[in-house]
Chains A and B, each alone.
Chain A
Amino acid sequence: MRDEDEFREFAASRQKQLLRTAYLLCGDWHGAEDLVQTTFGQLYRTWRRFRRVEHPDAYAKQALYRCYLTSKRKKRFATVPIDSVAEPAAPVAQTSDERAGALVAALAGLPERARAVVVLRFWEDYSVAQTAEALGISQGTVKSQTSRALGMLRVRIAETLSDIRRD
């Protein structure tokens, strides 16, 4: 099988899973699609090396998180000229699930790296060490970011948490 065919097969089988994670990071499906496409581009660029790694799923997720943080860092500087702004795309229904909606809204209020840490720790169920490795930061930073992020989330999703307690 050709390189490209192999990659397409891999990407297609992981697309939905990556899109879900990207949605939690970006807060909207269009942003999630952009992020996953960027990640696929980076993965294909290094496919010959990447396909031989021991845990390709973990590698793909790591690439997704790093692409996310890179794109956010660039956007801090970005000035977008009006004439280069594309026509707004047709709206995509975000999510009908109340809990998912509350979660995404709460995550959107976190700083980018804290959001990535929380999604890795609680969505992907990564350990502190795995999270540190995936984001290229120290374990101490993961712990402090998690603590701070959870503190912020506590306020933002207090009502939802109360509902969970009642359940």
Chain B
Amino acid sequence: MTEYEAENVRTLFQDADLDDVPTTRDLIGPAVAWGSGRRRRDRWTALGVTGAVAAVAVAGVVALRPGGEGGSKAVGPGVSVQNQSTAKPSPVKPIAPALIATRQQELLDSLRPYLPAGDRITCQSMNQMNGFCQLLTFTSPTGTSTAQWNAYNQFYEDGPADTKYEHEHTATAAIPLVSGTIDAPGGNIRIQSTDAEAQINVSEKQSLTDPAALTFHTAQYVFTPTGATDPAKSVVLEQTELVREMPWKGKPQVADAHGLWGFNPTGPVLSPEQFAKLVTAPIFPSVFQQLAALQAQADRQGIQQQSSSSH
């Protein structure tokens, strides 16, 4: 393609008459409704952690909220909103944050029989508000991953692969996991395996000797049960961890990098097969729902607190 032909393409774009723009529906109202919901959720996600630990949409929570919103469907932008309820949630009796935290940990501990021996799921201590912990720490004998999970909906944000700082992972001896889809007992798992550069999670790359060093790994699993026709039946787990030390220039800019991001040289704590075993456990749906309800409760209490403090 010559410069002359490129210029012709430019001319074609310039001459294209797109003045008549048809609009068939309100685009702004539903977008504002969705954006407001996401703002609330954002407060619970990955405090102090950006980039590699992507914010995960809280799909099923809407349906599980106590106080009369049950049965409504999660709605996001890009879909015409027809039945979105605008009713305010009814008041719910507050629960002490400590009780929410205790109950959440009990629920997580109930999953231990379905985890590999020695593994445990706990709240990442620095990521707890109103008792609920959005970001979890998966611990194994070899290390830790930070993790989030939720039900899948179409507005779940896939982790960006092959962007400026994040790249498709190629198999290594330490981390053989690559992107793709595999069959698993009870369904299949879609895997996205990415590496991220050290600079993705720091505000000043000058604080690193090698900002482009691949120090993070993220594994995203989407488990879809066999025969499931509802996307919300799928469960998404995203695990991120440092796989090598951050290349700090001098004094570390993050006091506890392992605690903040997790650290496991062999990648995600849970393999896809181990994740499949967990999500197909008989108690998993109930635990998952109770966790979502707890989060909704904490979320609601946070909004009520904000609302009362702003008046």
Contact = CB atoms under 8 A, between A and B. Distances in A.
Interface of A: 4, 7-8, 11-12, 15-16, 19-20, 23-24, 29-30, 33-45, 47, 70-71, 73-74, 77-78, 81-84, 89-90, 92-93, 95-97, 99-100, 102-103, 118, 122-123, 136-138, 147, 150-151, 153-154, 157, 160-161, 164-165
B229 A99 contact: no
B87 interface: no
B32 A34 contact: no
Contacts of B158: 70, 73-74
Contact of B78 (A8, A38, A102): A38
B21 A37 contact: no
Given A74-B158, A136-B160, A150 B9 contact: yes
A96 B66 CA distance: 51
B79 A34 contact: yes
A23 B18 contact: yes
B107 to A, nearest CB: 29
Given A11-B31, A37-B78, A99-B17, 11 more contacts: A8-B32, A33-B27, A41-B34, A42-B35, A44-B35, A45-B34, A103-B12, A122-B9, A137-B162, A150-B1, A153-B9
Given A41-B38, A45-B35, A161-B12, A95 B160 contact: no
Contact of B230 (A36, A84, A92, A122): A84
Nearest to A7: B32
29 contacts: A4-B32, A7-B28, A11-B27, A11-B28, A24-B18, A35-B78, A38-B77, A40-B28, A40-B31, A41-B76, A42-B77, A44-B32, A44-B35, A45-B38, A81-B229, A81-B231, A90-B24, A92-B24, A93-B22, A95-B20, A97-B17, A100-B17, A102-B12, A103-B13, A122-B9, A122-B12, A150-B6, A160-B12, A161-B12
Nearest to A4: B32
B164 interface: yes
Given A33-B27, A40-B35, A164 B12 contact: yes
B8 interface: yes
Nearest to A119: B13
Contacts of B15: 99, 164
A42 B17 CA distance: 29
A147 B76 contact: no
B251 interface: no
Interface residues of B, number: 49
Interface in B177-226: 181, 190, 222
Given A40-B35, A41-B31, A89 B10 contact: no
Contacts of B154: 74, 78
A36 B27 contact: yes
A157 B12 contact: yes
A58 to B, nearest CB: 17
Contacts of B93: none
A123 B31 contact: no
B172 interface: no
B157 interface: yes
The 9 nearest A-B residue pairs measured at CB: A44-B35, A41-B77, A40-B31, A81-B229, A97-B17, A100-B16, A38-B78, A150-B1, A41-B31
A71 B78 contact: yes
Contacts of B30: 37, 41
Contacts of B38: 41, 45
A61 to B, nearest CB: 15
A89 B24 contact: yes
A86 to B, nearest CB: 8
Contacts of A30: 24
B311 interface: no
Given A33-B23, A42-B77, A70-B160, A99 B12 contact: yes
A44 B88 CA distance: 21
A164 B16 contact: no
